[in-house]
Amino acid sequence: MKKNVYLALLLAITCVLYLPSAAGAYVTFNDHVLNGGVGSWGVADRYYYVFEGAQGYTSAIPNAVTDWNNTGTRIGVTTPVSFLKTTSQSASVMFIHAANYFGSGSGIIAETDQWTSGGALVDQYSSNWHHGRIRLNTPVFESLSTYNREGSVAHEMGHVMGLGENNSKPGSVMCQLGSGRTVNNAQKDDANGINHLYPNG
Ligand SMILES: [Zn+2]
Res 20 pLDDT > 50: no
Cβ contacts of 59 within 8 Å, gap of 6 or more: 146, 150
CA 5 – ligand 1 centroid, Å: 44
The C-alpha atoms of residue 124 and residue 24 are separated, in whole angstroms, by 19
Question: Which are the contacts of 65, defined by CB distance < 8 A and separation ≥ 6?
Answer: 48, 83, 85, 157
CATH topology of domain 26-197: Collagenase (Catalytic Domain) (3.40.390)
Residue 201 confidence (pLDDT): 79
Q: Please give the model's pTM, rounded to 2 decimal places.
A: 0.88
Q: What is the mean pLDDT of the chain?
A: 91
pLDDT at 200: 86
Q: Ligand 1 centroid vs 159 CA: distance in angstroms? A: 7
Q: Which residues contact 28 (CB under 8 A, 6 or more apart)?
A: 162, 163, 164, 193, 196, 197
CA of 103 to the centre of ligand 1 (A): 18
Contacts of 153 (CB under 8 A, 6+ apart): 57, 60, 61, 63, 64, 96, 110, 134, 136
Q: Is the pLDDT of residue 10 over 70?
A: no
